[in-house]
Amino acid sequence: MKTTGGSDEAKRRAGESAAALVEPGTTVGLGTGSTAAHAIRRLGERVAEGLDVVGVPTSFDSRQRAREAGIPLRTLDDVDRIDLAIDGADQVADFELVKGGGAAHAREKLVDTAAERFVVVVDPSKRADVLSHPVPVEVLPVAHGLVADAVRDEGGEPSLRRAERKDGPVVTDNGNLVLDCDFGDITAPATLARTLSGLPGVVEHGLFVGTADEIHVGTESGVRVHERE
């Protein structure tokens, strides 16, 4: 797993706080990353205690974790609805997010936006007044040069995400590449989101605008919950 800032204790509190929201008989979107992993682990414990739920994973990694935790799984195609999705984020400003640090944002966006209620779990290091984290953009391999040029035209600085312990780029669960695109301060996220979505060759980008319902911020001593009005 990638390394991110923030303490594991704060991540654990956030993840467990979200896992406590899961009701019997519901379908839960299972996010990706070290904070969502705590929610998956705790949900697995609740399943072992008798909770009846079904999980829809957002990545190979979250599927593996959920299987190990004993959570019954379905694909997006198999379920009529997702009641609650729990997922992490790389940066949160108000209720807007940058995601995709684990290169899972395409499936995360499918599951998180399909959910009736989307709960974001983070530690305090993820909070910001204005989004400025580089935006991960998943691209068709054949299009990465074209998309990089288009991102530069939009004022961004793209960087092909390199793999660790493998020569060459990160390849997503969908067989695509990731450009991390630095736009500096993102003062109009909805506009940038529309622009990126409109570029040929872009599969999905990591700006999540208008999707989060609640932010659970784990701290060293508790959890702060922010609810969208």
User: Any idea which residues carry the catalytic annotation?
Assistant: 108
Instruction: Give the interface segment with ligand 5RP, choosing from 44-52, 63-71, 93-101, 177-185 (CB under 6 A).
Output: 93-101
User: Where are any strands of DSSP class E within 110-222?
Assistant: 115-122, 135-139, 157-160, 177-182, 202-205, 207-208, 214-218
Contact 96, 120 (CB under 8 A): no
User: Locate tokens 């590449």: which residue?
Assistant: 177
Q: Please report whether residue 133 would count as binding ligand 5RP according to CB under 6 A.
A: no
Interaction of residue 19 with ligand 5RP, rule CB under 6 A: no
CB of 159 to ligand 5RP, least distance (A): 16
**33, 44, 55, 134: which one contacts ligand 5RP (CB under 6 A)?**
33
Our finding on whether 4 is near ligand 5RP (CB under 6 A) is yes
134 counts as binding ligand 5RP under rule CB under 6 A: no
How far, CA to CA in Å, does 70 sit from each of 14, 19, 194?
Answer: 21, 14, 38
- When asked if residue 89 is in the footprint of ligand 5RP (CB under 6 A), the reply is yes
Query: Which of 170, 219, 160, 173 is closest to 11 using CA atoms?
Result: 219
List contacts with ligand 5RP (CB under 6 A): 4, 31-36, 87-90, 99-105, 108
